[in-house]
Homo-oligomer: A and B are copies of this chain.
């Protein structure tokens, strides 16, 4: 078994920290909180990491690298316009399922962290995300899939906000799978909640 799941102590500490950052917020989580949860003392954390900032930095970078790799796969695929939008929406709910803490940190703390130079990549990723979605929506409009009277910028904002906000209540392993949630959400997004709509 060449790739066994040996989580290094370092990775374990990052996972513990991510959970706490997600739950309480970055600033409201103390290094003592993290150390307590890991069963060590706060000073010992500094054997592994420079600072609390370094920890959240590492968490966010690795998360975003993975996520945007998947967005790029969707853009590069030969799916039709509607299917690409569906895939991108489903990717969000899969990500909430698999990487909930990272999504929550991003939702709650990215705005604040982004003000510091060290985290300037957060704003770049934000722009990149907008470009991905606007490309998908424009393709949908050009393909005649989307209604012509939509304000695409506004549609983008709604989708961006709504595909991620479920991280507040979704719990992996609960009654609803991420696929169930994605099905319902796509149905609402694509066809609305009222009767008399197509498909």
Contacts and interface: CB of A to CB of B under 8 A. Distances in A.
Contacts of A190: 192-194
A133 B157 CA distance: 23
A32 B192 CA distance: 47
A197 B193 contact: no
Nearest to A165: B161
A28 interface: yes
Q: How many copies does the complex hold?
A: 2
B197 A189 contact: no
24 contacts: A25-B27, A25-B112, A27-B27, A82-B194, A108-B108, A150-B184, A150-B193, A151-B184, A154-B176, A155-B184, A155-B188, A157-B169, A158-B184, A158-B188, A161-B165, A188-B192, A189-B192, A190-B193, A191-B194, A192-B192, A194-B199, A196-B197, A196-B199, A197-B198
Interface of A: 24-25, 27-28, 82, 108, 111-112, 144-148, 150-151, 154-155, 157-158, 161-162, 165-166, 168-169, 176, 181, 184-185, 188-199
Given A150-B188, A191-B197, 12 more contacts: A24-B112, A147-B193, A147-B195, A150-B184, A150-B193, A154-B176, A155-B184, A155-B188, A165-B165, A190-B193, A191-B191, A192-B197
